[in-house]
Amino acid sequence: MPFAPSSRVLDLRLPDRVPGGARQADRDLLAQAPKSYLDTTHFDTVRFPPPEWATSAINRASRDGSLAYTGYRGHPAVLESVAARVDDVFGLQFDPSEELMLTPGTQAGLFGALASLIGQGDDVLLVDPDYLFSERILRFLGARVTHIPLTAGASPHPDLNRLEDAFKRVRPKLFVFSHPNNPTGSVYSPDIMAAIAELAVRYDAMVLVDELYARLVYEGTPYVHLATLPGMMDRTITLVGPSKTESLSGYRLGVVGAPAAVIKGIEDIQSITSLRAPAYAQHVLMPWLRDDHEWLVNRLKEFHKLRAMTVHAFEKLPWLTLHMQNATCYAWPDVSALQQSDTVISGALMREGAMLVSPGYQFGPSGAGHFRVCYARDEVEWAQALERIVCVLNRFALAAGLPGRTA
């Protein structure tokens, strides 16, 4: 019998987003790759390796066979350490035995949280654009997704009027967003966060906020953790982890902080999927968030220089719109003036520029006409890559009758 994927698998491919579905478009993009290309979809962990304490911690743990297995939620001592550090650094207070869970990366935390709460036909609000896999997971679970667009302009944030209208009209089971926003890098102001919290309380809604980039915020930018606001601790699911800031994506570690009943549900999901976060790697979270202030300051300085380099390169294209934000290491250029599809632009950048970018369709309906690149890269390599991007986009611009690049 020929293989036939389930309707759930077919729907998570977002067949309504791009012709043939988003997953097929992703595969087609990779099929165009030259023998050697630059992958700008993630951080350069060669140029920005994990801190030395991470390697030391996992090496020590892996020599102790008694640490090979833990409960589904994680090693108790690690959970206690994480609870203390998250309180010290973020001001988030979780009971380590009831309100915390270690997961195989924040991706597993996201899936576990959504799968524990959302069933067929449940209504969910999702910021648009937002992390590319949130909607795919929600589709897989059978949710009905209502998109809440970000406002246009230099400081994008969820449209509060649209958000309140959706709360009134849909009465969602959950509101989902990343903060700082992935892909734009936007940090929502304290007033915006307070308004989101007020609406969630007023309409008695649960909120899941992915705060994976909460430490990659440039100096002088105020940052508010949603769960610290009045009425939100008991209705917020918070995802954090060391994957990006400390370049620990390969260690597969995520942390979920949530009300005890939600953690129990995530534990049920994890028990039938991955069992636990990698047991030896869990112990990397013991020194996490401890005594690394100076290290983080220096890393952010390096990222800030790369940010400036990126802005300077895209400024050579007078028709391109770029509102660079104060967090993450992502640029989200608007190239809609070219009047080309995301697949055409990303395909040309792959074939002619030898680089993989994240096409806008991956992040939501409003992502069309954009692409995302990660500028946390080797400085020389990135300067060359930016020149290739500008050359490819300039060719499209000249063909469309738009002004050419400036010097």
Cα separation, 311 vs 323, in Å, equals 9
Structural domain includes residue 405:
no
Structural domain includes residue 297:
yes
* Confidence band for 2, pLDDT divided at 50, 70 and 90: confident
* Confidence band for 38, pLDDT divided at 50, 70 and 90: very high
Structural domain includes residue 406:
no
* Confidence band for 8, pLDDT divided at 50, 70 and 90: confident
Q: Are both 186 and 328 inside the same structural domain?
A: no
Cα separation, 325 vs 302, in Å, equals 16
Q: Are both 362 and 250 inside the same structural domain?
A: no
Q: Are both 150 and 274 inside the same structural domain?
A: yes
Q: Are both 257 and 130 inside the same structural domain?
A: yes
Q: Are both 44 and 66 inside the same structural domain?
A: no
Question: pLDDT tens across 116-172, in order?
Answer: 999 999 999 999 999 999 999 999 999 999 999 999 999 999 999 999 999 999 999
Spatial CB neighbours of 290, under 8 Å, sequence gap ≥ 6: 85
Q: Got the DSSP string for 169-207?
A: HH--SEEEEESS-TTT-----HHHHHHHHHHHHHTT-EE
Structural domain includes residue 212:
yes
Predicted pLDDT of residue 1 = 64
* Confidence band for 224, pLDDT divided at 50, 70 and 90: very high
Asked if omega into 180 is within 30° of 0 (cis), the reply is yes
Q: Domain limits at 214?
A: 54-285
- With beta carbons less than 8 A apart as the criterion, state whether 187 and 221 touch: yes
Q: Which helix (H) or strand (E) holds 39?
A: strand 38-39
Q: Are both 84 and 201 inside the same structural domain?
A: yes
Beta-strand relationship, 254-257 and 174-178: unpaired
Q: Are both 248 and 154 inside the same structural domain?
A: yes
Question: pLDDT tens across 165-194, in order?
Answer: 999 999 999 999 999 999 999 999 999 999
Instruction: Provide mean pLDDT across the span 33-55.
Output: 95
Domain boundary among 250, 285, 320: 285
Domain boundary among 243, 259, 285: 285
User: How many C-beta neighbours within 10 Å does residue 297 have?
Assistant: 10
Predicted pLDDT of residue 155 = 95
Cα separation, 150 vs 148, in Å, equals 7
Q: Give the chain's mean pLDDT.
A: 96
Q: Which amino acid is at 211?
A: E
Question: pLDDT tens across 273-317, in order?
Answer: 999 999 999 999 999 999 888 899 999 999 999 999 999 999 999
Q: Are both 245 and 323 inside the same structural domain?
A: no
Predicted pLDDT of residue 258 = 98
Q: Are both 112 and 237 inside the same structural domain?
A: yes
Cα separation, 243 vs 248, in Å, equals 4
Domain boundary among 248, 269, 285: 285
User: Could you give the number of structural domains in the chain?
Assistant: 2
Rounded to a whole number of angstroms, the CA Rg of the chain reads 21
Ranges of H-type helices in 38-131:
52-62, 76-90, 105-117
Angle separating helix axes 342-353 and 22-31, nearest 10 degrees: 20
Predicted pLDDT of residue 260 = 98
Q: Does the pTM of the predicted model rise above 0.75?
A: yes
